[in-house]
């Protein structure tokens, strides 16, 4: 789950990470009132959406004139921002963060996330604050520093000092060395205690009066840990999330909406990725990633089926189930029940393999539903692509594509 910048900064403040004075604003009138209370030499008006690149898209405004703040707020509220992370449709701005400006002497980049290779939390830092870290890593990888944290020992002072000296802080501004190390410890506590998956500050600035301030903030959370944190769940902004993804999470389904036209329902993340690949090889595009889990039941399959059918872009459905833990006849019952409940009108191809696969295929064939049953993955993909009318002039078999 992602949260807004103003919410991330609320968490930062709770954990002792310095942030500018700021407040969430939803109306120009409230903007005028807060600007008067803030009484700052510089005012920063920031659009709040779950996407990066807001500044480049015109979503960040700066002024020294307090009287201009309500007008800037009116300009941004209701505006649709299109960034490299929103896609072409963009995101509508429904709230703002208005905060005091800061005199910037130096910008740094700092984040904390899980290293997928080791499974340890790792700090990422760079002197190139304000830039996209992916770009820095691609062009000047030597400027990206990593400091893994042994979860058994937790964050230690030497971890912070190693990063501080790697960034050259003693030469840049020696007075921020100890505050920087303390900040890293506080961010690590936030990360672990709130089950975060990402904490990012870009830029982390050294001000002209020799202080450290988190000028921007981004925090993402592991959905599996949200049940332990009602305060974090309260940050959820349903306007910023895909409604079908919200519905899927309520049914314990792993669902991500994509831009294609073939709805996929698969058990197991690896098989789901392979299914999307083979749809693409057959000449079409998946409309989603949907993993109903290795222990899928009749009920979860029915819930997944209903979610697929609510996507207006879906022109056909491909169900690919391997019965290892789950039994295929249970999957078949779920498909039959859901199809009858919603009134199935789209073409459906079902591939069942594994435990009781033959029994499951028989149930589907005898159900009276217009469901095409297949045993081979490539055959099934070609069938659903042909049924939806999206097909290359000449479909390549997976083996042929690999040698192309």
User: How confident is the model over 41-90, as pLDDT tens digits?
Assistant: 999 999 999 888 888 889 999 999 999 999 999 999 999 998 888 778 88
Question: What tokens appear for 243 in the block?
Answer: 């409604």
DSSP 48-63: --S-S-TTTTT-EEEE
Confidence band, pLDDT 50/70/90 cuts, at residue 276: very high
| Residues composing the chain | 404
Q: What mean pLDDT, rounded, does the chain reach?
A: 89
Compute how many other C-beta atoms are within 10 angstroms of the C-beta atom of residue 14: 12
- Which class does domain 243-403 fall in? alpha beta
**Residue ranges per domain, the chain?**
1-20+103-241, 21-101, 243-403
3-class state of residue 85 by DSSP:
coil
Q: Is-catalytic flag, 366?
A: no
The DSSP symbol for 395 reads P
Tens digits of per-residue pLDDT, 221-266? 988 888 899 999 999 887 777 778 777 877 778 888 888 999 999 9
Mean pLDDT of 19-29: 96
Q: Which of 5, 99, 109, 329 is catalytic?
A: 109
Judged by phi (left if over 0) then psi (alpha if -120 to 50, else beta), residue 235 lies in alpha
Give the pLDDT of residue 395: 41
The per-residue pLDDT for 327 is: 83
Q: Is 109 a catalytic residue?
A: yes
Q: How far is the C-alpha of 237 from the C-alpha of 254, rounded, in Å?
A: 19
**Which letter does DSSP use for residue 329 in this model?**
H
d(CA 203, CA 213): 9
Among candidate residues 128, 200, 255, 329, the one labeled active-site is 200
Structure token pair of residue 310: 């609510």
Count CB atoms within 10 A of the CB of residue 131: 16
* Per-range mean pLDDT, top range of 31-40, 325-334, 335-344: 31-40
- Identify the band that residue 390 occupies on the pLDDT scale cut at 50, 70 and 90: low
Confidence label for 206 from pLDDT (cuts 50, 70 and 90): very high
- Please tell me the CATH code under which domain 21-101 is placed: 3.30.1490.20
CATH of 1-20+103-241, one of 3.30.930.10, 3.30.470.20, 3.40.50.12780, 3.40.640.10: 3.30.470.20
- Cα separation, 149 vs 124, in Å, equals 11
**Strand, helix or coil at 256?**
strand
């Amino acid at each position: 789950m992602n949260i807004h910048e103003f919410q991330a900064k609320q968490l930062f403040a709770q954990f002792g990470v310095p942030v500018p004075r700021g407040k969430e604003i939803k109306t120009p009138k409230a903007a005028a009132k807060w600007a008067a209370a803030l009484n700052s030499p510089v005012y920063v008006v920031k659009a709040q959406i779950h996407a990066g690149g807001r500044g480049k898209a015109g979503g960040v405004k700066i002024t020294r004139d307090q009287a201009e703040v309500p007008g800037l707020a009116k300009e941004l509220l209701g505006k649709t921002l299109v960034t490299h992370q929103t896609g072409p449709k963009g995101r509508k701005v429904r709230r703002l963060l208005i905060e005091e400006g800061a005199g910037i002497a130096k910008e740094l980049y700092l984040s904390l996330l899980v290293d997928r290779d080791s499974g340890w939390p790792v700090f990422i830092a760079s002197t190139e604050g304000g830039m996209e870290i992916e770009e820095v890593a691609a062009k000047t990888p030597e400027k990206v520093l990593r400091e893994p944290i042994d979860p058994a020992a937790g964050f230690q002072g030497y971890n912070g000092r190693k990063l501080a000296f790697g960034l050259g802080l003693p030469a840049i501004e020696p007075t921020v060395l100890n505050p920087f190390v303390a900040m890293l410890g506080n961010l690590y506590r936030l990360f672990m205690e709130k089950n975060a998956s990402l904490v990012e500050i870009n830029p982390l600035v050294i001000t002209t009066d020799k202080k450290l301030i988190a000028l921007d903030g981004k925090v993402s959370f592991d959905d599996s840990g949200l049940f332990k944190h009602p305060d974090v769940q309260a940050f959820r902004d349903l306007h910023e999330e895909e409604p079908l993804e919200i519905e899927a999470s309520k049914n314990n389904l792993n669902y991500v909406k994509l831009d294609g036209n073939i709805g996929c329902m698969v058990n197991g993340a690896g098989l789901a990725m392979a299914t999307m690949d083979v749809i693409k090889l057959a000449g079409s595009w998946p409309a989603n990633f949907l993993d109903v889990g290795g222990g899928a039941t009749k009920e979860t399959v029915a819930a997944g089926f209903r979610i697929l059918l609510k996507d207006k872009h879906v022109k056909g459905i491909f169900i690919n189930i391997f019965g290892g833990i789950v039994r295929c006849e249970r999957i078949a019952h779920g498909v039959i029940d859901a199809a009858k409940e919603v009134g199935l009108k789209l073409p459906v191809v079902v591939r069942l393999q594994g435990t009781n696969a033959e029994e499951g295929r028989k149930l589907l064939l005898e159900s009276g539903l217009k469901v095409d049953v297949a045993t081979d993955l490539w055959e099934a993909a070609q069938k659903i692509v042909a049924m939806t009318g999206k097909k290359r002039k000449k479909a390549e078999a997976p083996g042929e594509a690999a040698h192309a």
